[in-house]
Structure 1
């Protein structure tokens, strides 16, 4: 699978899939962040100590931070 955001003349292999839109992205077009891991427990939430890795494409990352 090739990166969705790379030009068609440059077939760059994808290394991840955007967790928001599902587009395949290469290392250059992927944005990695860390979000708190939470579970629904009874009537509340439990937050884990180790955060989750959150991979998005650049377009979704721009939308998240705006």
Structure 2
């Protein structure tokens, strides 16, 4: 699979990740990595896991979330 953002610019580079929101293939230059807190229902409350999970998004989805 190739990076979607690179291909849109007429370049070709190998995708190393997939956007967790839209599913586009991403190279290292276009992948945005951010922590994501993982929650789990535990009885009548909520439990938070540590460490945070890793979340990868493309530039478009990253900007839409900010």
TM, length-normalised to structure 1:
0.88
Which protein has the bigger strand share? Answer: 2
- For the residues of structure 2 that align with 1:43 and 1:6, how far apart are their CA atoms? 47
- The structure carrying a bigger helix percent of its residues is 2
Q: Which residue of 2 aligns with 1:50?
A: 51
Q: State how many pairs are aligned.
A: 65
Q: Structure 1 stretches of 5 or more lacking a match? A: none
TM-score, length of structure 2 as denominator length: 0.88
Cα deviation 1:1-60 (Å, max 9, x = unaligned)? 000111353210000000011111101110000011111223321101200001000100
Q: In angstroms, what is the RMSD of aligned CA positions?
A: 1.2
